[in-house]
A and B are shown apart, each in its own frame.
Chain A
Amino acid sequence: MASVDIRDVRKAFGAVQIIKGVNVEIADGEFVILVGPSGCGKSTLLRMIAGLENITAGEIAINGRVVNNVPPKERDIAMVFQNYALYPHMSVKDNMAFSMKLRKAEQSEIDERVSKAAKILGLTPLLDRFPRQLSGGQRQRVAMGRAIVRDPQVFLFDEPLSNLDAKLRVQMRSEIKELHQRLKTTTVYVTHDQIEAMTMADKIVVMHDGIVEQIGAPLDLYDNPANLFVAGFIGSPAMNFIKGTAKGGQFVAEAGFSLPLPKTGESVEGEAVTLGLRPEYIRMDPKGFAAEVVVVEPTGSETQVALHIGKDGQQQEIIALFRERISAKPGDIIHIAPMEGRAHLFSTKSERRVSITTV
């Protein structure tokens, strides 16, 4: 087990800057998820930790040792690839034993470790099969088994669940989390799926366009997004953004209604601001502002409603999520209001959050 320190790391492919100075500290045993939209550089960063890509500038240290010039096999890391990268001509057992065979480990030790890993992952009955004879979830487990057998300092996962169907993904998610709780090996996990990030991580690193937007615990990012990007990226359905101006302690929407201004750490009087409102923090309130129901999507446990707010001609669509079942039909007018202390305020210009946490 080891810590991983990423210090001002940059990566350029020719003239194209992919990663523009990233700092992340990963503590021993931590489960860290790099999340962001495609092309944000998260996979490249992971491959740099693995040693599959050169580091253009900056430093990566594993367990205190700078590994910039250390070849991959000496970094003592194991990686699970998006396409699993199982050796198709080897049985499950041989796939898992390959790295130990290369290290010329004793056969008895190989057998012991392989069967232990197989037991952890429920692969024991499949040991003699070839990858072709396995289902997607089983292949995924073999790929993890191959990593576990090595007992590395750090596990790296590169979008390991994206080739699985939705149901299996949920199942594997908790399996990976459970595995981490059991092995306590430092893990760096890359995904573009913020739900995976929220549900599994000890710490999330939100990346965008080659920079780190915010680092924090899942709920911390959810409750206190540092900027518009993180606010919009974390949470599903995504946060609603309403543009407007701060005027006399009120938020005046461009769409033509006003709301009480959330508490801010600095004065924003007269500035262009954006109000961020999570769908689940909107409630029905007879004294709230009027909204026209556009689409009602009940899921049983909750009801997602698309609403039009604002005057004719300046209407904006927002999403609201109600825990109760509602009888409104498209075309109806309902009255809604943000829950107390739950609205965020962002500076439209700098995109930073200016409201302070009140809950």
Chain B
Amino acid sequence: MTTPASPKSGGTGHTASTWERLQSDRNWLGFWFMVPAAFFLLFFLAYPLGKGVWMSLTDIKIGRPGQFVGLENYEELILYDKTFLYATGFTLVYTAIASAIKFALGLYLAILLNNNMPFKSFIRSIVLIPFIVPTVLSAIAFWWIFDSQFSIISWFLRKINLIDHNINFLGDPLMAQATVIFCNIWRGVPFIAITLLAGLQTVSPSLYEAATLDGASRWQIFKNITYPLLTPIIAVVMTFSVLFTFTDFQLIWAMTRGGPVNATHLMATYSYQKGILGGQLGEGSAIATAMVPFLLAAIMVSFYGLQQRKWQQGAKE
């Protein structure tokens, strides 16, 4: 032999055993690397999801295995459970209002922070604070701020003689809904602002200069250059924001537990109340499973939205 054979083409000498091939083959190697991640995904995500869907099709209760009942739980929820319908409606309203305002504020804040100003990095890190404080802690703080007796806002407004009795922030259904939406916005804006700020910083300053020379005003630059160039990152960040808002649990549970009179129940909190606290595991699972179509729809909208932007795709014709 004059030419050295590479290990892979050494088929003439001896046939490698299956085990040896599994060790050296590139595709199999990739497979081995994926195994740990796949295990975690299957065991901690796919399995609970599948189990949840299965439970929603049974009449399982705490302490009783339960039997397959088909779609009875869903029927029960949709036809007879007013609270479920109300919670679903409120979840949609909560998500829509909170996401829209978070987006508007986040974008505005990002543009503000993108300007040159003194103490730039200090201000940027301050903006992140609502995001890094654990949700439950900030929710408890808000609970006190909006308390019916000890609310600092009521106290202040009374001191300056704007009102003569405390505002019942969390006791009145409409007020409570507005309050929890406000808290969600407070918590969610930094994430959007910082992500959009990162997006803004990838826009080359010479594009703004070119647009200025082309005769664009500041508003026209925003409308024609900044906003379109941000759309990819807006699509991603708003998808996340909608998903997180829709599945919110901590904030509501820490502040109102769904009250007053179930006015602030989201699907997630209602599912918990029904399934874990009420022991109706089957129905609770059905409520949780009912969230899936909404979430899928949100993902689809963003997915097809992303596909539409031809200018982003590579140099292909």
Measuring CB to CB, which residues of chain A are less than 8 angstroms from any residue of chain B? 50-52, 72-73, 77-79, 81-83, 85, 87-91, 98-99, 102-103, 130-133, 146, 150
Instruction: Say whether A85 contacts B224, CB under 8 Å.
Output: no
With A102-B220, A132-B313 as contacts: A89 and B206 at CB distance below 8 Å: no
Q: Does chain A have a CB within 8 A of B20? A: no
> Which residues of chain A are within 8 angstroms of B314 by Cβ–Cβ distance?
132
Instruction: Say whether B206 contacts A81, CB under 8 Å.
Output: yes
Q: A72-B213, A81-B206, A83-B206 are in contact. List 17 more A-B contacts (CB 8 A).
A: A52-B212, A81-B209, A83-B204, A85-B207, A87-B210, A87-B211, A87-B224, A87-B225, A89-B228, A89-B311, A99-B215, A102-B214, A102-B215, A130-B310, A132-B313, A133-B315, A150-B214
Instruction: Say whether B317 contacts A133, CB under 8 Å.
Output: yes
Instruction: Say whether B215 contacts A73, CB under 8 Å.
Output: yes
Alpha-carbon gap, A87 to B227, bound state (A): 12
Closest Cβ of chain B to A46, distance in Å, is 12
Instruction: Say whether B210 contacts A85, CB under 8 Å.
Output: yes
Closest to A91 in B: B311
- How would residues 208 to 247 of chain B score, 1 for a CB under 8 Å from any chain A CB and 0 otherwise? 0111111110001000110011000000000000000000
Alpha-carbon gap, A281 to B224, bound state (A): 57
The number of chain B residues with a CB under 8 A from chain A is: 25
Chief secondary structure at chain B's binding surface: helix
Interface residues of B in 268-317 (CB under 8 A from A): 309-317
- How would residues 92 to 134 of chain B score, 1 for a CB under 8 Å from any chain A CB and 0 otherwise? 0000000000000000000000000000000000000000000
Instruction: Say whether B207 contacts A87, CB under 8 Å.
Output: yes
Closest Cβ of chain B to A151, distance in Å, is 13
Instruction: Say whether B229 contacts A89, CB under 8 Å.
Output: yes
Closest to A71 in B: B212
Instruction: Say whether B311 contacts A52, CB under 8 Å.
Output: no
Closest to A102 in B: B215
With A83-B206, A89-B309, A132-B315 as contacts: A73 and B213 at CB distance below 8 Å: yes
Closest Cβ of chain A to B305, distance in Å, is 14
Alpha-carbon gap, A77 to B213, bound state (A): 7
Closest Cβ of chain A to B251, distance in Å, is 37
> Which residues of chain A are within 8 angstroms of B207 by Cβ–Cβ distance?
85, 87
> Which residues of chain A are within 8 angstroms of B228 by Cβ–Cβ distance?
89
Q: Which 5 A-B residue pairings sit nearest by Cβ, starting from the closest?
A: A99-B214, A73-B215, A85-B210, A85-B206, A130-B311
